[in-house]
Amino acid sequence: MNTDLALPDYREQTPEVAARFSRLVERPVALQVSHLTKKFETPRGIITALDDVSFSVHKRELLSVIGPSGCGKSTLVRILAGLESPTSGELRVYGEPVSGPGADRGMVFQGYTLFPWRTVKENVMFGPQMSGTPTYIADSEAREWIELVGLSKFENAYPHQLSGGMKQRVAIARALANQPRVLFMDEPFGALDAQTRCQMQSYLLEIWKNVDITIVFITHDLDEAVFLSDRILVLEANPGRVNEVVQVPVPRPRSSTQIFDPTFLGVRKHIDNLIHPPGQEQKEAPVLRHAISDPDVV
């Protein structure tokens, strides 16, 4: 994809898009992260993975987090989900302080993490059953979530009988069945082929449109971040710090044809420049040879 063409300033907005962002910031703050720092002790000393990270996410917003390798994306989302503790800083969900896992937050990983001995419906039922929901209610609600992700015909199938995209839809349904207020997704489509990944992005937007949920989406894919998001949190690396929070002025509803739109390309180029500043010296890749050099092979 050629992004060297003259592209519009990504901050240019139509009145409709400006109104959308105005409505966004008027919503309640669903997630507030304040001065979050995470340090790890290693044999070579203390490593700072995240340094003084602060940002907020509004109700029903879809915010992506992106950055270069080593910026702490996965560490950040694990802290937000309560799976790790920060060294310092504060996390609040709808104003309430968070110190560990909770039903108000759901998590979808890159791996499918489904129980192989349970059917699709039984996987989706698991969370509500563990929280004390009667089986007949959990069964009924699971069917509704399975229908939402388009897998009603497969509710009695086992994970090994499903494709990768279908497994991830089950994982999303299982997370939503617990009715979290915020859903964290850690590169959930990273293991899928390109075609399935595009389909899953569209599925996610459709699900998000129909469910009262706020989403924080971790990705390394620039196109994916722009296509999905209201805003994009761009992190610096070593240590992970907030570089910029970028508004995405691409109109909604989104479609795959928009990836060729000048506005889409303008946002993408701006984020790419944040992650890989122009003129930044790139390390040369090592040359590995496992055969005699052939001048006819280039």
> How do residues 98-121 score in pLDDT, each as one tens digit?
888 888 999 998 877 899 999 999
CATH code, 243:
3.40.50.300
Kindly state whether residues 172 and 252 are assigned to the same domain: no
Kindly state whether residues 95 and 169 are assigned to the same domain: no
The answer to whether residue 8 sits within a structural domain is no
Burial code (b: 16+ CB inside 10 Å, e: under 16) for 102-124 equals eebbbbbbbebebeeebbbbbbb
Evaluated on CA atoms 247, 249, 254, 255, the torsion sign reads negative
Q: What is the mean pLDDT of residues 50-61?
A: 96
On the 0-12 / 13-18 / 19+ scale of CB atoms within 10 A, 59 is middle
Domain of residue 65, residue span: 15-104+182-197+205-275
Give the pLDDT score at 4: 44
The DSSP symbol for 154 reads: G
The answer to whether residue 9 sits within a structural domain is no
The answer to whether residue 282 sits within a structural domain is no
Kindly state whether residues 91 and 116 are assigned to the same domain: no
Closest CA to 270 of 252, 251, 253, 245: 245
Q: Is 70 exceeded by the pLDDT of residue 280?
A: no
Q: What is the mean pLDDT of residues 201-214?
A: 93
pLDDT digits (tens, 9 = 90+) for 5-46: 455 566 667 788 888 888 888 999 999 999 999 999 988 889
Q: What is the mean pLDDT of residues 195-212?
A: 92
Q: Is 60 exceeded by the pLDDT of residue 88?
A: yes
The answer to whether residue 297 sits within a structural domain is no
Closest CA to 77 of 103, 47, 110, 46: 110
Percent of the chain with pLDDT over 70: 89
Kindly state whether residues 90 and 210 are assigned to the same domain: yes
Give the pLDDT score at 69: 87
Kindly state whether residues 42 and 155 are assigned to the same domain: no
Please indicate whether residue 60 or residue 278 has the higher confidence score (pLDDT): 60
For the entire predicted model, the pTM comes to: 0.89
Kindly state whether residues 98 and 137 are assigned to the same domain: no
Kindly state whether residues 131 and 168 are assigned to the same domain: yes
d(Cα 234, Cα 64) in Å, to the nearest integer? 8
The answer to whether residue 265 sits within a structural domain is yes
Evaluated on CA atoms 92, 96, 101, 103, the torsion sign reads negative
Q: What is the mean pLDDT of residues 246-260?
A: 90
Kindly state whether residues 95 and 115 are assigned to the same domain: no
The answer to whether residue 289 sits within a structural domain is no
The answer to whether residue 141 sits within a structural domain is yes
Instruction: Name 35's bridge partners.
Output: none
Give the pLDDT score at 287: 60
What confidence category does residue 1 fall into, taking pLDDT thresholds of 50, 70 and 90?
very low
Kindly state whether residues 189 and 270 are assigned to the same domain: yes
Give the pLDDT score at 2: 43
Put residue 23 in one of left, alpha, beta given phi > 0 → left and psi -120 to 50 → alpha: alpha
Kindly state whether residues 124 and 144 are assigned to the same domain: yes
Kindly state whether residues 132 and 83 are assigned to the same domain: no
Q: What is the mean pLDDT of residues 127-145?
A: 94
- Helix (H) or strand (E) holding 26, with range, is helix 15-26
What's CA 182's distance to the chain center, in Å?
12
Number of compact structural domains in the chain: 2
The answer to whether residue 283 sits within a structural domain is no
- Which residues contact residue 203 at a Cβ distance below 8 angstroms, ignoring those fewer than 6 apart? 149, 150, 169
Kindly state whether residues 115 and 143 are assigned to the same domain: yes
Q: Is 80 exceeded by the pLDDT of residue 291?
A: no
Closest CA to 256 of 283, 231, 234, 228: 228
